[in-house]
Amino acid sequence: MSAVIDTHAQDHHHGPAKGISRWLFTTNHKDIGSMYLMFSFAMFLLGGSMAMVIRAELFQPGLQIVEPEFFNQMTTMHGLIMVFGAVMPAFVGLANWMLPLMIGAPDMALPRMNNWSFWLLPCAFLILVSTLFMQGGAPNFGWTFYAPLSTTYGPPSTTFFIFAVHIMGVSSIMGAINVIATVLNMRAPGMTLMKMPLFVWTWLITAFLLIAVMPVLAGVVTMMLMDIHFGTSFFDASGGGDPVLFQHVFWFFGHPEVYIMILPAFGAISHIVSAFSRKPLFGYASMVYAVGAIAIMSFLVWAHHMFTVGMPLAGQLFFMYATLLIAVPTGVKVFNWVTTMFRGSLSFEAPMLFAVAFIILFTIGGFSGLMLAIAPADFQYHDTYFVVAHFHYVLVPGAIFGIFASAYFWLPKWTGYMYDETLAKTHFWLSFVGMNLAFFPMHFLGLAGMPRRIPDYALQFTNFNMISSVGAFMFAATQLLFLFIVVKCVRGGEKAPAKPWDGAEGLEWTVPSPAPYHTFSTPPEVK
Amino acid sequence: MAHDTETSQPLRRSNSRVIAWCLSGVVGMFAFGFALVPLYEVFCEITGINGKTGGRYEASAVQQVDEDRTVRVQFLASNGPGMTWEFRPVVRSVDVHPGEVVTVNFYAANGTEEAMVGQAVPSLAPSEGTLYFHKTECFCFNQQPLDAGESVEMPLIFIVDRDLPEHITKLTLSYTLYDQGKPVNVSRTDRVQTKTNNNG
C-alpha cells in the first residue's frame, strides 16, 4: 500500500475536500457511490411510506384514510420511486463503489460524467415528488402509465412526470456508459473478461440493457408529451393512433427493465454465496452465459405483460414459450448457487442469510412468474393481486435483499468497522417474516379474484389484507433498524481487517478497510 | 506520475471510442422506439390483427358470389369522448353471401348549434376476419362535416371475401365517431373532400 501513497505524495495532495463541496463537485467513485446509496435509501423510505398509506387503507374494506384519487397517486408514485429511485440507484451506487475496486482501477473511466449522472437524480425526483403538491395531484395512472389513461385522462402534472422520466433516463444512460467504459478499458493487467468477478459481469450486461431500453422509455414518454401538447395521435384512436401500441413500446422497455433490477443482485449474490460457503463459485462460465442469455431473451418476451389485449393465438404462443424458456438460464443460476453451497463450510452471517433468503424467495417469485407466463391461465391472474405478489416476490427478496446482502457484505470495506451482527440478524429475521407476511397472502387474494390498484375491496378479502398490512408495517419499521445499523457502523465499532470474511475472494479485499480515498493508483497484477 | 503518461493516452482514446459506440446505441434505440410506430402499423396491416380494417379495396376482378354460404355482418356505432352527434347504423345487421357487393348506410345528425367535423374509425371483430373484409367505399375514409342541425346518411360498400375462414359465421363492424373540431372555412363543394386521415 505504501507504493500507492508514494505515488500520490509526488502529485498534489489528495484527500476529500471539506464541507459541502466535497459532495457537490466530487469525482471520486467512492464518494459518488456513497451518495447513490444514501439517495437510494432515502427514496426507499419515501416509496415505503407511500406503501404504508396503501396498506393502511387496505387494512379494512371501505374507505377509511384516503380518497381513491390519492390512493391511485400513492400506488403510482410508490412504483415509480421504488423502481427508478430506490432499486436502480442502489445498484449504480454499488457499481460505483465496487467495480473499480474489483477490477483494480483507480476510479471510474468518466469521473466527471459520474458526478453529473448522480446529481441529475435528485433533480428528477424533486420534480417527480413535487407533482404531489400540484393542482390535480400527482400522476395517478399506475407506474406503467398506460395511454390513454396518462395522455387523455392524466392530470396536468403528467408533463412534469414526463420531464422527470427524461432526466432519470439521461442519468441512467450516463451511468451505463460509465460502467461499460470502466469495465472495458480499466481492468488491471491480466484480468481477462472471463476472469472478471461476476458482479462486474452482471453489471456490464445490465449496462448494455440500460443503453438498449432507456432510450425507448424516453421515446415513449416523448410520444406521450407530443400527444398531450402537440396534437399528434400516437396513442389516440380518433387521430388514427392506437393505445395498444403504447403497451408494446412501454413493455419493450419494461421487460428488460425488470432484469436491469435483478441482474446486478445475481452478481453480488454469487460472491456472497461463494464467500460464506468457503468454496469457489460453481460453474462460473455457465453463470456468465446464463446472464447473457437472460439479457438477450428479455427482448423477446415483452408481450407476456399484455396477453389480454386481444393478441392472435400465434403471438400468445410465441410469447408464452419464449417466457418459459427464460426459466432455463435462471434455473442454471439457482442450481449453481445451490451447488456452490453443497458440502461447503457454511456460516450464516447477515449477508449470507440475505443471500440464502434471496435464492429461496426469488425462486418462489420466479415460479409465480411461470404461472403468469402461461397465456391461458394469465387471463385469470391478469391485473389481480397475484401479479402484485409475483413482482414483489422478485423485487423485495430479490433486488432489495440482494442490496441488503451486498451492503452488509461490503460495509466493513466501506466504513472500516464491522457492523453489529446481532442487530443485522434481527434486521434479517424481521424483514424476512414481515416481507413474507405482507406478500404471501397476496397470492391467495389474487387467485380469489381481488383486482390490483383498488382502494376498497369485497368483504371476503378482509383477513388476508389485514395479515398483509401487518406484515408490511413490520417490514417497513424494520428498515429503520437498518438505518440505525449502518449509522452505528459508520460511527465506529470493531475494527475491520482488510478481508473480514475468510472465504471472500477478489481484489477489493486486498486494499485496507476502510478503503483509502484513492486505491489502485498503481494497477495490481492479476494472475 | 510516470506510468500515467504511458497508459492514459491510449486509454483516453479508447474511452472516447466506447462513448461514441454507446451514444450511437442510445440514439439508435431512441429512433427505434419511434420506428416501432410504423412497424406496428405495417405489422397490423399485414396480419390483420387488432381489428384494423384496411383502406379502400380495389377489386381486381369481380368475385363470384358464394350463394351456399351466409355470413351475418353486424354494425355498431358509438361516439368518442365529447361527441354529441346522433350516430347509428340504418340497419343493425345484414346477412350477406361471400363475394357479394353490399351497400349499407349509417345515419349521423349534428344536433348542436354549430358546424362540426366528425371522423369515424372502424374496428372489426373477430380480428381474424379483418383480412377478409373489404371496403370499396366507406365514409370512414374521409372526415364528415355537418352544419348545425344537419343530418346525413353515409354509405359503406363492402365485400366479404370468399376466402373467409369457414368457422367465422358472424362479423361485427364497429365505428367510433370522433369530434374533429370546427370545419375549416371553405366553400361547401370543397368541404366534402376534406383531408383523409387514411386510417381505413
Residue B195 pLDDT level (bands cut at 50, 70, 90): very low
Q: How far is B109 from chain A (nearest CA, A)?
A: 19
pLDDT recorded at residue A257: 96
Cβ contact A181–B18 (<8 Å): yes
Q: Which of A383, A387, A345 is nearest to A368 (CA)?
A: A387
Q: What is the mean pLDDT of chain B?
A: 81
CA B43-A144-B45 angle, 5° bins: 10
Quick one: CA dihedral A393, A397, A403, A406, positive or negative? negative
High-pLDDT (> 90) share of chain A, %: 91
- Report the SS3 class of residue A153: coil
Under a CB-based contact definition with an 8 Å cutoff, are residues A114 and B19 in contact?
no
Measure the CA–CA gap between A212 and B21, rounded to whole angstroms: 12
**CA A488/CA A29 separation, integer angstroms:** 23
> Binning pLDDT at 50, 70 and 90, where does residue A13 land?
low
Considering the candidates A278, A452, A453, A488, report the single residue annotated as catalytic: A452
Q: Give the model's pLDDT for residue B181.
A: 81
pLDDT at A123 (0 to 100): 96
Contact B140, B120 (CB under 8 A): yes
Evaluate if residue A93 carries a pLDDT over 60: yes
Please tell me the predicted confidence (pLDDT) of residue B42: 86
B121 contacts in chain A (CB < 8 Å):
237-238, 240
CA–CA separation, A472 and A476 (whole Å): 6
Instruction: Mark A439-475 as b/e (b = at least 16 C-beta within 10 Å).
Output: bbbbbbbbeeebebbebebeeebeebbebbbebbbbb
More confident residue, A13 or B172: B172
Q: Which residue of B has its CA nearest to A9?
A: B1
Answer with the residue of higher pLDDT: A68 or B181: A68
Predicted confidence at residue B7, as pLDDT, reads 47
Confidence of residue A524 (pLDDT cuts 50, 70, 90): very high
Mean local confidence (pLDDT), B172-177: 90
**How far does A355 lie from chain B, in Å, by closest CA?**
33
Cis peptide bond prior to A197, omega within 30° of 0: no
Test A220 with B179 for CB contact under 8 angstroms. no
Q: How many CB atoms lie within 10 A of CB A420?
A: 17
Q: Cell numbers at residue A442, please?
A: 397476496
> What confidence tier does A76 reach under pLDDT thresholds 50, 70, 90?
very high
Q: How many Cβ atoms sit within 10 Å of the Cβ of residue A407?
A: 25
pLDDT at residue A439 above 60?
A: yes
The catalytically annotated residue of A203, A259, A393, A417 is A259
- pLDDT at residue A267 is higher than 60: yes
Query: Is A279 annotated as catalytic?
Result: no
Taking CB atoms and an 8 Å cutoff, what residues of chain B touch A248?
36, 40
The cell numbers describing A130, all together, are 413535487
- Please indicate whether residue A462 or residue B52 has the higher confidence score (pLDDT): A462
Specify the pLDDT at position B60.
Answer: 63
- Alpha-carbon distance B152 to A68, whole Å? 43
Q: Which of B9, B23, B30, B42 to mutate to test the interface with A (most CBs of A within 10 A)?
A: B30
Residue A421 is a catalytic residue: no
Q: Are strands B71-79 and B170-179 parallel, antiparallel or unpaired?
A: parallel
- At A109-139, the pLDDT tens digits run 999 999 999 999 999 999 999 999 999 999 9
Q: Which of A143, A144, A159, A222 is catalytic?
A: A143
A248 with B1: Cβ contact below 8 A: no
**What's the start-to-end Cα distance of chain A, in Å?**
19
- Which class does domain B51-191 fall in? mainly beta
Amino acid B183: pLDDT: 79
Residue pointed to by grid coordinates 361547401? B188
Q: CB of A389 within 8 A of CB of A446?
A: yes
Res. B37: pLDDT tops 80: yes
For residue A125, how far is the Cα from the chain centroid? 16
Greatest alpha-carbon pair distance for chain B in Å reads 92
Q: What is the DSSP string of chain B?
A: -HHHHHHHHHHHHHHHHHHHHHHHHHHHHHHHHHHHHHHHHHHHHHH-GGG---SB---SSPPPP-TT--EEEEEEEEE-TT---EEEESSSEEEE-TT-EEEEEEEEE--SSS-EEEEEEEEEESGGGGGGEEEEEEGGGS-EEE-TT-EEEEEEEEEE-TTS-TT--EEEEEEEEEE--SPPS--HHHHTTPPP----
Our answer to whether residue A172 is catalytic in this structure is: yes
- Reported as a pLDDT band with limits 50, 70 and 90, residue B1 is very low
- Tell me A516's DSSP state: P
Please answer yes or no on whether B36 and A248 come within 8 Å at the CB atom: yes
Cβ-Cβ pairs closer than 8 A, A with B, add up to 105
Which chain A residues are Cβ-neighbours of B140 within 8 angstroms? none
> Which residues of chain A make contact with B26, given a CB cutoff of 8 A?
173, 211, 214-215
**pLDDT given for residue A158 in this prediction:** 96
Of B12, B4, B10, B11, the closest CA to residue A7 belongs to: B4
Distance CA A270, CA A337 (A): 7
Confidence of residue A328 (pLDDT cuts 50, 70, 90): very high
Query: What integer best gives the mean pLDDT of chain A?
Result: 94
- Nearest CB to A180; choose among B22, B27, B119: B22
Residue-level pLDDT at B3: 46
Q: How confident is the model at residue B184 (pLDDT cuts 50, 70, 90)?
A: confident
Which neighbouring-strand residues pair with B96? B71
- The C-alpha of A50 sits at a distance from chain B's nearest C-alpha, in angstroms, of 32
> What separation in angstroms does the CA of A420 have from each of A10, A79, A501?
39, 32, 15
Task: Sketch the domain layout of chain B as residue ranges.
Answer: 1-47, 51-191
Annotate A263-324 with three-state secondary structure. HHHHHHHHHHHHHHHCCCCCCHHHHHHHHHHHHHHHHHCHHHHCHHHCCCHHHHHHHHHHHH
Residue (of B49, B163, B53) closest to A313 by Cα position: B49
Going by C-alpha positions, the residue among A183, A362, A413, A408 that lies closest to residue A288 is: A183
Query: Which of these, B93, B91, B106, B103, lies nearest to B154 by C-alpha position?
Result: B106
Substitution target in B15, B42, B195 with the highest count of A β-carbons within 10 Å is: B15
Instruction: Give the full edge-to-edge strand order of the sheet including B144-146.
Output: B93-96, B71-79, B170-179, B116-125, B144-146
Give Cα separations from A297 to A246, B24, B190 (angstroms).
Answer: 21, 22, 54
- Asked if ipTM goes beyond 0.90, one says no
Closest CA to A165 of A33, A72, A76: A76
Site from B27, B36, B53 to mutate, A interface, most A CB atoms within 10 angstroms: B36
A30-60 per-position pLDDT tens digit: 999 999 999 999 999 999 999 999 999 999 9
Q: pTM for this one?
A: 0.88
| Secondary structure class of A241 (helix, strand, coil) | coil
Q: Is the pLDDT of residue B137 over 90?
A: no
pLDDT value for B51: 67
Would you place residue B13 in the very low, low, confident or very high pLDDT band (cuts 50, 70, 90)?
A: low
DSSP letters of A47-73?
HHHHHHHHHHHTTSSS--SS-HHHHHH
Q: What percent of chain A has pLDDT over 70?
A: 97
Kindly state the average pLDDT of the residues A355-380.
96
Output b/e per residue, A349-369; b: 16+ Cβ within 10 A: bbbbbbbbbbbebbbbbbebb
The per-residue pLDDT for range A204-247, each reduced to its tens digit, is 999 999 999 999 999 999 999 999 999 898 998 777 788 999 99
Distance from CA of B22 to the nearest CA of A (A): 6
CA A509 to chain centre: 25
Q: Which residue has the cell 397472502?
A: A441
Within a 10 A sphere around the Cβ of B120, how many other Cβ atoms? 27
Rounded distance between C-alpha atoms, residue B44 and residue B37, angstroms = 11
Which domains, and CATH codes, for chain A? 2-9+23-510 (1.20.210.10)
With bands split at pLDDT 50, 70 and 90, how would you rate the model's confidence at A405?
very high
